Amino acid sequence: MLLLVLDLIGVAVFAASGALAAVHARLDVFGVVVLAGITALGGGIVRDLLLGLTPPSSLRQWPYLIVPAVVALLVFRWHPTVARLRRAVQLADALGLALFVTTGTATALRVGAPAATAGLVGVITGVGGGVVRDVLLTEIPTVLRREIYALAAALGAAVVVTGDALGLPATPVALGAAALVATVRLLALWRHWNAPVAGPSPG
Amino acid sequence: MLLLVLDLIGVAVFAASGALAAVHARLDVFGVVVLAGITALGGGIVRDLLLGLTPPSSLRQWPYLIVPAVVALLVFRWHPTVARLRRAVQLADALGLALFVTTGTATALRVGAPAATAGLVGVITGVGGGVVRDVLLTEIPTVLRREIYALAAALGAAVVVTGDALGLPATPVALGAAALVATVRLLALWRHWNAPVAGPSPG
Amino acid sequence: MLLLVLDLIGVAVFAASGALAAVHARLDVFGVVVLAGITALGGGIVRDLLLGLTPPSSLRQWPYLIVPAVVALLVFRWHPTVARLRRAVQLADALGLALFVTTGTATALRVGAPAATAGLVGVITGVGGGVVRDVLLTEIPTVLRREIYALAAALGAAVVVTGDALGLPATPVALGAAALVATVRLLALWRHWNAPVAGPSPG
């Protein structure tokens, strides 16, 4: 139940990030709804395909369809000024990453995946929606660009896997992992933490 | 049997759309064949993966391989002048969308998917090939851009699902749904129907 | 066992191609590791999804995770000068293509896929990682561009399938097929073999 609620909140914030990015790219209202839906559901669909759960749960349950559509229409109607959209996309994206890494890892553990597999599936679930969103808008995905992103996802997945291995209660672990991912990601954004870039010639 | 025939016609027209787009992008003959194949088979492969049907049917049946290759070579040799290619891509794409939405929805219903799942799988099947084609050519996919596209697909899927729920005969429903999708999409193209774009600042 | 070793060498060289391309695109160290991992594992994950083998083997076995990460860090630290990166990417990509076409085809045959399906799965496995790498960097994938690429992959898959049908011993066939793919691909690169491009107007 907690998994479902966290997953739907993740769907909602990723839908918002997709819708905001679509408005920023000047897509029409259908494009905004479609990109919001793909961004919101993409990570979970990839997760279910990797775990052999077909058809993916998000294509079988109504809330997974209604939430992104409603969020997309709300964003389309009441989005902030275009000048502020980039920051709003980043904020929604960070929250979606946090929730999807957590629920993706937990879902994989629940169906019996070993720890390493579960962590990887969690990371892929978390970054998947944003990658698809950026690729469809012909941008290099955030996960590959300058800010700490994959690292935040990996930390969150590691916390969920470790908590499970230690037999800790799932709910506080999931909430703690999500909070950790969001905090690391947002600090990296706001403090302009960057990882090193390779120099132009060999060391 | 009707499903197979409609599916293969869809494969052929999507192959043509991929081949025309590849010629337009100045790809060589192998690139034209590969892009035609990916465009033609991409939607169906995604459909089968979502439904847990592996290996995908298009990788198991010869016609699915021969049809795109032959269409690609025909297009490569006798394509119209480059100036007219964009319109030819759009026409082939609209027909492929119509056929794949219909066959995708019907296939999902046949393997027991509930109505909403079947409709979504149909829409994904219909738009999938074109999305992959555009992404590979580093263009923002048609489904996200200005013309009515996702709406046409959703209408067609709704007709197939409703016809199935009412117990109507499958063949006329499938043909009617395909005709509806193609008509809406082509009217949107030719009449320049556009959906609204979000304004630059909040309402 | 041979399959596993060849597969891991393929993972390593594709990881190198992804890491070199990421350095060339000026990604940070995490971006380099992530792109190396996606490039190295993408083809195999798609192969396993197409064959219904879930979770994909590369998400279940430690070497598949450690190898790309180590290769990426080595490349990040000791990559050649940026001016020579494009050529190094091409070389690593050709070797990865050769190994993955071979192991992809052999894996599909081992789980009982018919010959045509196995060959196609092999080609998709071989080109998959490079396609994802290029799409994420918003470039038109190599497989669609000017040099002989899909042809080399198809030749290698045909050799493996034919050897299997004739009952030849698998190891020399696999090594021969990989050598053939790499040779054709590298000759095409170094001799500037190109396939014809469609003319600007109908013949």
Residue A22 CA to residue A30 CA, distance in Å, equals 10
Please check whether residue C120 touches B, CB under 8 A.
yes
The residue of chain C nearest to residue B80, with distances taken between CA atoms, is C202
Q: Which of residues 10-29 of C touch A (CB under 8 A)?
A: 22-23, 25-29
3-state class of C122 per DSSP?
Answer: helix
Is residue A47 very low, low, confident or very high in pLDDT (cuts 50, 70, 90)?
Answer: very high
C1 vs B56, which has greater pLDDT? B56
Neighbours of chain A (3+ CB pairs under 8 A): B, C
Instruction: Please name the chains neighbouring C, where neighbouring means 3+ C-beta pairs under 8 angstroms.
Output: A, B
Per-residue pLDDT tens for C156-201? 999 999 999 999 998 899 999 999 999 999 998 888 776 677 665 4
Contacts of A135 in chain C (CB under 8 A): 135-136, 138
Dihedral, C195, C200, C201, C202 alpha carbons, nearest 10: 10
Task: Map residue C27 onto helix, strand or coil.
Answer: coil
Q: Does A165 touch chain C (CB under 8 A)?
A: no
The partner residues of C197 in beta bridges, in order of sequence, read B28
Q: Indicate the pTM of the whole model.
A: 0.88
With a CB cutoff of 8 Å and minimum separation 6, the contacts of C79 are A198, A202, C19, C20, C23, C85, C88
End-to-end Cα spacing for chain C:
52
Nearest to B122 by CA among B99, B136, B98, B105: B105
- Write the ipTM: 0.83
Average pLDDT over residues B63-86: 82
Residue found under tokens 């600090």 = A187
CB-based contact B148:B188 (threshold 8 Å): yes
The SS3 assignment for A170 reads helix
Segment B41-52 mean pLDDT: 93
Per CB-CB distance under 8 Å, the chain B contacts of A52 are: 52
Whether A152 contacts chain C with CB within 8 A: no
Q: Which residues of C touch A202 (CB under 8 A)?
A: 78-81
Residue B196: exposure state from Cβ atoms within 10 A (0-12, 13-18, ≥19)? exposed
| b (16+ CB within 10 A) / e for C111-135 | eebebbbbbbbbbbbbbbbbbbbbb
Give me the pLDDT at residue C134, please. Answer: 92
Q: Assess contact for A62 and B59: CB atoms under 8 A.
A: no
Please, which pLDDT band fits residue A26 given cuts at 50, 70 and 90? confident
Q: Indicate if the pLDDT at residue A143 is higher than 90.
A: no
| Cβ atoms of A28 and B196 closer than 8 Å | yes
Q: Please count the other Cβ atoms lying within 10 Å of the Cβ belonging to residue B90.
A: 17
Specify the DSSP class assigned to residue A114. -
Summary mean pLDDT of chain C: 87
